[in-house]
Amino acid sequence: MKGWEKNIRRVTPYTPGEQPDCPQMIKLNTNENPYPPAPGVRRALEALDTDRLRLYPDPAAGRLVKALAKRLCLGEDQIFVGVGSDDVLAMCFLTFFNSKKPILFPDISYSFYPVWAELFGVPYETPALDEDFRIRKEDYFRENGGIIFPNPNAPTSLLLESRDVEEIIARNPDVIVIVDEAYIDFAESPSALELLGKYDNLLVVQTFSKSRAMCGMRIGYAVGSPELIRCLNDVKYSFNSYTMSLPALELGAASVEEEDYFQETVGKIKATRKRSLKALRELGFSCPQSSANFIFASHPDCPARELFEALKREHIYVRYFSKPRIDNYLRITIGTDAEMDTLLETLQRLLSKKNPN
């Protein structure tokens, strides 16, 4: 062993979903949006003056923060933006989870949380979801160093009711509670943003990746009290001042300014989700009631791994997690109606081969 080897920080990284280079594929594996970003985003891209790329972008991301503040009817000092919500969440871990007491997040939730906790040396505990994959709020009524959970949860797709979210926040006034709302725009329930006026320990994180169809632009944001946002900015400026590129600022703001298109595409995805859930259940799948842009599905007659591999051979990509409790489930992103029809026909064919009666 070389002397320097012992000084290397070794981590087990998060494994992102595959991004295969296959033009024919149906890609339902990373919860991307099947529709393009708002038309104004294209116009903003075409209008972008490349000469401006000579200069550093605005470190305060003013253009985007202003647009978000206006849409959310909040102060500009209540919004922090980052390179996707992954960047925002990493900054949140670094800023707010700085206690010797363990932070809490569900055993089945976004698999990046334990990676950040390990990377930043944050102790953590993972209360188990109940047998129906629901968060048990009571598990979060004990001493801890902070709380984070996705709502709706991933990969289960289940929503925790607003009153339960509020109870977790209210019972934990001495720590920061982060509600990761990557998928909230697809839920019927209101965002925890509504609670911001009541609780100074709440931080809500959202993203442009899912409902705004902008995974490729990498934009996420946190919303909280001016005090929390100031702390986040202090850490950001101690790490990388210019996180948001000029195109991200311009295109992000253009997206926020087109509310009608946003509502329309979210509505289309919800409608496709409704009929896909029904059709999957008719094929014998059991699926929790999804509040997200994906469905979590398990079939009694065919192991999920087998279905995952068989679909892949047909160039249909879904997500499979080889993890305790969920290793017999597929996570299927909602695509267009045509994509979902192909998926459903393929599943029907694969299942009838397996069980000819």
Calpha distance 80→250 (Å, rounded): 16
Please name which of 290, 105, 115 lies closest in space to residue 188, comparing C-alpha atoms. 290
The rounded distance, in Å, linking the Cα atoms of 206 and 74 is: 15
The answer to the question of residue 159 lying near ligand PMP (CB under 6 A) is no
To ligand PMP, the closest distance from the beta carbon of 168 in angstroms equals 17
Q: Does residue 220 interact with ligand PMP by CB under 6 A?
A: yes
Count, residues in the chain: 357
Chain residue at closest Cβ approach to ligand PMP: 84
Residue 228 touching ligand PMP (CB under 6 A):
no
Q: Which of 37, 57, 84, 127 binds ligand PMP (CB under 6 A)?
A: 84
Q: Specify the residue, 145 or 152, whose C-beta has the smaller distance to ligand PMP.
A: 152
Contact stretch for ligand PMP (CB under 6 A) within 46-54, 80-88, 171-179, 190-198: 80-88
Contact 142, 185 (CB under 8 A): no
Nearer to ligand PMP, 252 or 299 (CB): 252
> In whole angstroms, what is the distance from residue 152 CA to residue 160 CA?
7
Q: Which of 33, 156, 201, 209 binds ligand PMP (CB under 6 A)?
A: 209
Q: Check residue 168 for interaction with ligand PMP (CB under 6 A).
A: no
Task: Please give the Cα distance from 269 to 327 (Å, whole number).
Answer: 26
Distance CA 157, CA 290 (A): 5
Binding-site member from 96, 97, 105, 110 for ligand PMP (CB under 6 A):
110
Quote the CA–CA distance of 64 and 80 in Å, as a whole number: 10
Distances (CA, A) of 64 to 96, 188, 296: 24, 26, 33
Confirm if 307 and 328 have CB atoms less than 8 A apart: no
By the rule CB under 6 A, 154 interacts with ligand PMP: yes
**Shortest reach from residue 84's CB to ligand PMP, in Å:** 3
Is residue 252 part of the contact set for ligand PMP (CB under 6 A)? no
Choosing from 129, 159, 182, 249, the residue that interacts with ligand PMP (CB under 6 A) is 182
Three-state DSSP class for 173? coil
Encoded tokens for 79? 């919004």
User: Which of the residues 184 through 203 are near ligand PMP (CB under 6 A)?
Assistant: none
Q: Cβ 336 to ligand PMP, closest distance in Å?
A: 20
**At its nearest, how many Å lie between ligand PMP and the CB of residue 215?**
6
Q: Which stretch binds ligand PMP (CB under 6 A): 58-66, 81-89, 262-270, 296-304?
A: 81-89
The rounded distance, in Å, linking the Cα atoms of 339 and 316 is 9
Output 165 or 351, the one with its CB closest to ligand PMP: 165
Among 32, 139, 180, 185, binds ligand PMP (CB under 6 A): 180
Q: At what angle do helices 337-354 and 304-313 cross, to 10 degrees?
A: 120
Q: For residues 213 and 277, which CB has a smaller minimum distance to ligand PMP in the complex?
A: 213
Residue 258: partners with Cβ closer than 8 Å, 6 or more residues away: 38, 39, 40, 41
C-alpha–C-alpha distance, residues 157 and 273, integer Å: 11
Residues in contact with ligand PMP by CB under 6 A are 84-86, 110, 150, 154, 180, 182, 207, 209, 215, 220
